Structure 1
Amino acid sequence: MRTYLAARAACIVFLFSGSAAAAVSEEEFAQLRAEMLRLAERVGVLEEENRELRQVAEATVSEVQLARTEAQEAGRTVEEWAPGTTFSGDFRYRYEEIDVESRDIRSRHRLRARFGAVARLSNDVEIGLRLAAGSESPVSGNTTLGSGGTSKDLYLDQAYAKWRPFNGAYVTAGKMKNNFYRPGGAGLAWDSDYTPEGLAFGWSGEQLFINAAAIGLESDSRRDNHTFYYGLQGGARLPVGDTVSITAGAAYFDVPVQGESSFFGDADDFFGNSFNCTDADNCAYLLDYEELELFAELTYSGFAMPLNFYADYIRNLDADTYDTGWLAGARLGKASAAGSWQVGYQYEDVEADSVLALLRDSNVGGGGSDIQGHKLFGSYAVARDWTVGFTVFVDNDAGENRTGSGTDYDRVVFDTIFKY
Structure 2
Amino acid sequence: MKKARWPAALVAALLCAGTASAQQMWFEKYRMKTPDTKFFEYLQRLSFNGDLRLRHDVSAKRGPGLNGRNRLRYRLRLGMEALLPWELSVNARLASGTGEQVSTNQSADNLSSQKGIYIDQAYLRWSPIVSQEGDGSFYLQAGRMPNCLWRLYSSDLLWDDDWNPEGFGEGIEWLLPPGFTVFANAMQVVADEDSNSGKDQWLFSQQVGGETRLPFDTRFKAAAAYHSWSDVNRSSLGAAAVQDGNRRVGGVLANRFGVLELTGQLSGWFRQTPVRLQATLARNVRSVGLDGTAACAAANTCPSARDGYQYGAIIGEAKMPGTWEAAYFQKYSQTDVTVADAADSDFGDGGTNQQGQIAWLAYAPAEWMVFKAKYFNVDTIDTQFLPDNKAVRRYQGDVSLKF
TM-score of the two chains, using structure 1 as the length reference: 0.78
Q: How many Å apart are 1:324 and its aligned residue? A: 0.4
Instruction: From 205, 212, 232, give the equivalent of 2:206.
Output: 232
Q: Does 1:373 align with 2:356?
A: yes
C-alpha contact (below 8 Å) 1:178/1:196 kept by paired residues = yes
C-alpha contact (below 8 Å) 1:386/1:416 kept by paired residues = yes
Report the equivalent of 1:5.
none
Change (3 A) 1:157 1:242: same
State how far apart, in whole Å, the 2-side matches of 1:59 and 1:258 are. Answer: 68
Q: How many Å apart are 1:223 and its aligned residue? A: 5.5
Other structure's SS at 1:366 match: coil
Report the equivalent of 2:382.
400
Q: How many Å apart are 1:49 and its aligned residue? A: 11
State how far apart, in whole Å, the 2-side matches of 1:265 and 1:53 are. Answer: 66
Amino acid at match of 2:251: C
Report the equivalent of 1:190.
159
Pairing 1:26-105 to 2, within 5 Å after superposition = 58=18, 83-102=44-63, 103-105=66-68
Quote the RMSD (CA, aligned, Å).
3.0
Q: Does 1:293 align with 2:261?
A: yes
Other structure's SS at 1:364 match: coil
Report the equivalent of 2:147.
178
State how far apart, in whole Å, the 2-side matches of 1:374 and 1:161 are. Answer: 38
State how far apart, in whole Å, the 1-side matches of 2:191 and 2:233 are. Answer: 14
Amino acid at match of 2:273: M
Report the equivalent of 2:280.
312
Amino acid at match of 1:88: N
Q: Which digits, 9 at most, give the CA deviation of each residue in 1:353-402, with x for residues without a partner?
A: 111111011111211010100000121112110111111002x1125253
Identity of aligned residues (%): 26
Structure 2 unaligned blocks of 5 or more? 1-7, 30-39, 131-136, 176-180, 289-303
Change (3 A) 1:225 1:363: farther
Report the equivalent of 1:10.
none
C-alpha contact (below 8 Å) 1:184/1:297 kept by paired residues = no
State how far apart, in whole Å, the 2-side matches of 1:136 and 1:388 are. Answer: 26
Report the equivalent of 2:215.
241
Q: How many Å apart are 1:220 and its aligned residue? A: 4.5
Amino acid at match of 1:295: T
Change (3 A) 1:99 1:123: same
Pairing 1:106-125 to 2, within 5 Å after superposition = 106-122=69-85, 124-125=87-88
Q: Quick check: 377-386 or 402-411, which moved more?
A: 402-411
Q: Which has the larger radius of gyration?
A: 1
Report the equivalent of 1:383.
366
State how far apart, in whole Å, the 1-side matches of 2:362 and 2:326 are. Answer: 7
Q: How many Å apart are 1:299 and its aligned residue? A: 0.5
Change (3 A) 1:111 1:225: farther
Q: Which digits, 9 at most, give the CA deviation of each residue in 1:60-98, with x for residues without a partner?
A: 6567889999xxxxxxxxx99x75111011111111110
Other structure's SS at 1:400 match: coil
Q: How many Å apart are 1:286 and its aligned residue? A: 1.4
Structure 1 unaligned blocks of 5 or more? 1-47, 70-78, 277-281
Other structure's SS at 1:148 match: helix
Higher relative contact order (CA 8 A, sep 6+): 2
Q: How many Å apart are 1:262 and its aligned residue? A: 2.7
**Counting helix residues as a fraction of each chain, which structure ranks higher?**
1
Change (3 A) 1:109 1:50: closer
State how far apart, in whole Å, the 2-side matches of 1:238 and 1:223 are. Answer: 47
Amino acid at match of 2:380: A
Report the equivalent of 2:291.
none
Report the equivalent of 2:224.
250
Amino acid at match of 1:96: D
C-alpha contact (below 8 Å) 1:173/1:198 kept by paired residues = yes
Amino acid at match of 1:179: C
Change (3 A) 1:411 1:247: same
Q: Does 1:275 align with 2:248?
A: yes
Report the equivalent of 2:173.
204
State how far apart, in whole Å, the 2-side matches of 1:245 and 1:328 are. Answer: 17
Q: Quick check: 131-140 or 55-64, which moved more?
A: 55-64
Q: Does 1:145 align with 2:108?
A: yes
C-alpha contact (below 8 Å) 1:217/1:227 kept by paired residues = yes
Other structure's SS at 2:153 match: helix
